[in-house]
Amino acid sequence: MMKSYLAAAIQMTSQPELEKNLASAADLVELAVQKGASLVTLPENFPFLGEESEKVRQASAIAQQTEIFLKTMAQRYQITIVGGGFPIPTADGKVSNTALMINADGEELARYEKVHLFDVNLPDGNTYQESQTVQAGTSLPPLPVSPDLGTIGLSVCYDVRFPELYRQLAQKGAEILLIPAAFTAYTGKYHWQVLLQARAIENTAYVIAPAQTGHHYGRRYSHGHAMIIDPWGMVLSDAGEDPGVALAEINPSRLEQVRRQMPSLEHRVFI
């Protein structure tokens, strides 16, 4: 039976330097644990946020060191940890954008390769072509069920704009939706919070959304505002614009109450 527990959504300003980013992540994980978190989530691109060509060149080192880092943190602090999207080399010379969930024994609970790739020309003049370097995943996120933490649905960043993904997760029993991101400063201002709240409300689920913030390199800026949102759409915690931690209670009786009062998942007509 899922228990009440504290979850942490970490906010970082990752740079094009792997070791520096992992050191910052380690400090923020420790901070989250000191505050009592038993589920700690890290944003997309947390170990490396730099030029796409560099990301591909360094991908095997990033992948190896990041997996070791996540397992070390999980075991050291006896937590479940989620690394919200980092490059793992694929056979075709690209990388997958992979989120990884590790339990307190250092065992892999779930691995998800980002399905929706960010190929967008924004009005601020920035162009993003994630598919040039990233091989899209083809499978629904796995749904790890933890006796203590509940049933958790994984996703990554741009996925948040595709409600059908989360509806499938909710149909399969997801109680908590994880949406680690490196949302652009431009789109984040308009869409980040409202999309997170929509995913929480329509699926009557908690949303945990760790985030990147600030200036990374060149013209790359992220929106910040890592958040935890309850199944009614209430923002329980918002990390603002500086690196840090959003922390909130995940409460099964609150989840049950909202689903009882607003049983919209049971009223679906078009499935």
Catalytic residue numbers, as ranges: 44, 114, 157
Q: At what angle do helices 163-171 and 193-202 cross, to 10 degrees?
A: 30
Q: Work out the angle at residue 118's Cα, subtended by the Cα atoms of residues 115 and 122, and round it to the nearest 5 degrees.
A: 160
Q: How far is CA 101 from CA 111, 143, 189, 202, 254, in A?
A: 6, 11, 28, 25, 24
Say if strands 37-42 and 80-89 run parallel, antiparallel, or are unpaired.
parallel
Which residues is 150 bridged to in the sheet?
Answer: 146
Q: What is the dihedral of CA 33, 39, 40, 43, to 10 degrees?
A: -170
